[in-house]
């Protein structure tokens, strides 16, 4: 059974976000917490969940690397079913994730997911391995069948603005860049942008 951690808005929610973590940090990572709290401020219910490999790490298991993204699609689909059945879930559901989680969300949305799931949000999409722009991972975005929003830091080492603007990611996905942001949306100290501001912009 998929365990869920909810962040709920003070007023009735207008939508629900299913939020998966990145490759190396679970649902309690600072980015995940900041993002979930910012979305709740915007009136969105957020259900965080963990893939099995990360849940085993949290329980004291071996810190094995994540499996191939393709092998996590079934788990993501199962989590969506659990979220849709939960009383906290209100309105349309958006399949979302940080880095690896966003890639898996897009892969999961390569096929219809029922009337309730309305779109995909990728937070810091891993367009390529760091330092290897010649190995793009574009197929999940090019093949997605739902409206997809990619929120990307301009300096993201997994795909910066200059690189990403040259990619063909199909007709269903669009990218919004966050000023001077890194993979966690954080800007440099001298930047006029702030981490809080970039997180807030991503949540709107």
pLDDT bracket for residue 92 (50, 70, 90) = very high
For residues 118 and 109, what is the distance between their CA atoms, to the nearest angstrom?
Answer: 10
For residues 138 and 168, what is the distance between their CA atoms, to the nearest angstrom?
Answer: 8
Residues 54-84 as b/e (b if ≥16 CB within 10 A, e otherwise) read bbebeeeeeeeebeebeebbebbbebbebbb
For residues 54 and 58, what is the distance between their CA atoms, to the nearest angstrom?
Answer: 6
pLDDT bracket for residue 61 (50, 70, 90) = low
pLDDT of the residue at 58: 78
For residues 41 and 203, what is the distance between their CA atoms, to the nearest angstrom?
Answer: 9
Query: Full-prediction pTM beyond 0.85?
Result: yes
pLDDT for residue 26 is more than 80: yes
For residue 160, give both structure tokens. Answer: 């910066």
Q: Give the residue among 136, 194, 133, 132 at the shortest CA–CA distance from 170.
A: 136
Share of the chain above pLDDT 70, in %: 99
Place of tokens 């365990």: 3
Share of the chain above pLDDT 90, in %: 88
Q: Are 40 and 8 in contact (CB under 8 A)?
A: yes
pLDDT bracket for residue 144 (50, 70, 90) = very high
């Amino acid at each position: 059974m998929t365990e869920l951690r909810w962040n709920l808005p003070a007023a009735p929610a207008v939508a629900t976000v299913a939020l998966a973590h990145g490759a190396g940090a679970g649902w309690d990572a600072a980015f995940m917490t900041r993002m979930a709290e910012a979305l709740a401020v915007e009136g969105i219910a957020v259900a965080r969940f963990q893939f099995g490999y990360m849940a085993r790490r949290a329980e004291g298991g071996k810190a094995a690397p994540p499996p191939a993204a393709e092998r996590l699609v079934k788990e993501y689909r199962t989590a969506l079913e659990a979220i849709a059945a939960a009383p906290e879930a209100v309105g349309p559901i958006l399949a979302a994730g940080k880095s690896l989680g966003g890639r898996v969300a897009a892969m999961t949305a390569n096929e219809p997911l029922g009337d309730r799931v309305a779109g995909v949000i990728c937070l810091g999409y891993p367009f390529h391995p760091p330092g290897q722009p010649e190995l793009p991972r574009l197929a999940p975005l090019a093949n997605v069948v739902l409206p997809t929003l990619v929120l990307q830091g301009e300096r993201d080492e997994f795909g910066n603005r200059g690189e990403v603007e040259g990619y063909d990611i199909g007709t269903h996905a669009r990218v919004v860049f966050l000023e001077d942001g890194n993979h966690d949306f954080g800007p440099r100290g001298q930047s006029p942008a702030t981490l809080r501001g970039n997180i807030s912009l991503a949540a709107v």
